[in-house]
Amino acid sequence: MLLTDQHPHNKSIMVSVLGAPNVGKSSMINYLMGMDLTVVTKKPQTTRNKFHCVFTVDRTEIVLVDTPGVHKSNMEFNKRLNEQAKEGTEGADINLLLIDLSREILPQVKDFIELMDMELGRTWVIFSKADRIEDATKLPLAEVFAKIQEVIPAADKFFVVSSKTGDNMHELTGAICDAALPGPHLYLDGSVSNKNERFFACEYIREQAFQLLKDEIPYEVAVLIDEFKDVSKKDEDRQSHISASILVNRPSQRGIVVGSKGAMIKEIGTRSRHKIEAMTGGKVHLNLHVKVSPKWFKNNFVLEEIGLPRAVNSARVWRNKG
């Protein structure tokens, strides 16, 4: 089917999902989609790229844009994460601003506005992790929302949700569908993202590294796919061969990621392979290598390779300085 030749009742909407690190953006997206597409860990700064997560409800296509949590930092790497979040608002019909109910609310809003430093279009405030509060209905959230509207005038609705219990997720999906406008779908039926299997293979390996490694190591790890090829013969079930490099910053981290007698790398490999196999629907042979790449997070080539190019307007800033 041509994307231009579509059912006349089709509707579509693009919704960016924004907020501080760890507030539950990716968890909410997975809940709404009904699948574990985007990576979730207990640690902040899990998501590193903006990307589309796509599903349909009846004839309505919903494109949720997952984004990295915005946070204060002078490091180039972190600035590029924030830039991804800003770019995630481009073309969005609505922004969902997640505010973690288990943390102080107004400082989260203040930091977010300062860091985004842009005029936000139509925004819905999503108070997340409601299950962490004994009784969220007793909180004066209407008053808090009125205060948020003073600083985000385009905020016109709020929801109180939990990705753990599913509270109000149905209502949120309904409201998104109601806001969708008639028009063609951007993606073919069955597409779940604008990113390919290579991207998600990387993400699922990094997710396990984030979950299994401690201290600063997860933040000093990047994953690159060296090879991803289908090796199945005609009429055979799908089989893929994937080689990936786990980059670390320092030689001492290499030993930790490999682990005693290779136990850690084996665990990262086994867990991520299961998730990759669920995605490809076939068997996966996964080879992981740990490589020391000092200060990879300052290296523009590596940053571009992991989907964090220099901000579009940074060249302009640089030229102006000259």
Ligand X SMILES: Nc1nc2c(ncn2[C@@H]2O[C@H](COP(=O)(O)OP(=O)(O)OP(=O)(O)O)[C@@H](O)[C@H]2O)c(=O)[nH]1
The residues binding ligand X (CB under 6 A) are 19, 21-27, 40-42, 44-47, 68-69, 128-129, 131-132, 162-164
Q: Give the CA count within 13 Å in the CB-facing half-sphere of 228.
A: 15
Between 240 and 272, name the residue whose CB sits nearer to ligand X. 272
* Cα–Cα dist 161/93, whole Å: 21
Of the candidate residues 12, 19, 20, 26, the single one contacting Mg ion (CB under 5 A): 26
* Least spacing, CB of residue 171 vs ligand X, in Å: 15
Residue 59 or 132 with smaller CB distance to Mg ion: 132
Which of Mg ion, ligand X, none does 84 bind, CB closer than 5 to 8 A by kind? none
- Min dist. Cβ of residue 99 to Mg ion (A): 15
Residue 224: strand pairing partners: 245
Q: Which does 163 bind (CB under 5 to 8 A by kind): ligand X, Mg ion, none?
A: ligand X
CB atoms within 10 A of CB 191: 14
CB of 312 to ligand X, least distance (A): 22
Instruction: Return the structure tokens found at 149.
Output: 């509207």
Q: How far apart are CA 125 and CA 18, in angstroms?
A: 10
84 lies in the binding site for Mg ion (CB under 5 A): no
CB 135 within 8 A of CB 177: no
Contact 31/22 with Cβ under 8 angstroms? no
Choose between 137 and 260: whose C-beta lies nearer to ligand X.
137
In whole angstroms, give the CA distance from residue 29 to residue 192: 12
> Which of the choices ligand X, Mg ion, none does residue 23 contact, using the CB cut-off of 5 to 8 A by kind?
ligand X
Q: How far is the CB of 88 from ligand X (least distance, A)?
A: 11
State residue 62 phi and psi, 5-degree precision: -110, 120
Instruction: Show Cβ contacts of residue 170 under 8 Å, excluding neighbours closer than 6 positions.
Output: none
Residues touching Mg ion, count (CB under 5 A): 4
Nearer to ligand X, 44 or 309 (CB): 44
Q: How far is the CB of 182 from ligand X (least distance, A)?
A: 31
Q: Specify the DSSP class assigned to residue 95.
A: E
Q: Which is nearer to Mg ion, 26 or 193 (CB)?
A: 26
Q: Which stretch binds Mg ion (CB under 5 A): 40-48, 149-157, 239-247, 309-317?
A: 40-48
Q: How far is the CB of 128 from ligand X (least distance, A)?
A: 6
H/E stretch holding 31 = helix 25-33
Q: Which of 281, 301, 282, 304 minimizes the C-alpha distance to 293?
A: 301
Closer residue to ligand X (CB): 101 or 148? 101
Identify which of residues 12 and 193 has a Cβ nearer to ligand X in the complex: 193
Query: CA nearest 218: which of 17, 20, 22?
Result: 22
CA trace torsion 269, 230, 221, 292 (10° rounding): 100
Angle between helices 105-116 and 141-151 (to 10 degrees): 20
Among ligand X, Mg ion, none, residue 305 binds (CB under 5-8 Å by kind): none
Residue closer to ligand X (CB basis): 166 or 294: 166
Residue 132 near which of Mg ion, ligand X, none (CB within 5-8 Å, type-dependent) = ligand X
Residue 82 as a binder of Mg ion (CB under 5 A): the answer is no
Query: What single-letter amino acid sits at 74?
Result: N
Minimum distance from residue 129 beta carbon to ligand X (Å): 4
Please give the Cα distance from 61 to 11 (Å, whole number).
Answer: 6
User: Closest distance between ligand X and the C-beta of residue 132, in Å?
Assistant: 5
> Is residue 47 a contact point for Mg ion (CB under 5 A)?
yes
Residues that bind Mg ion (CB under 5 A): 25-26, 46-47
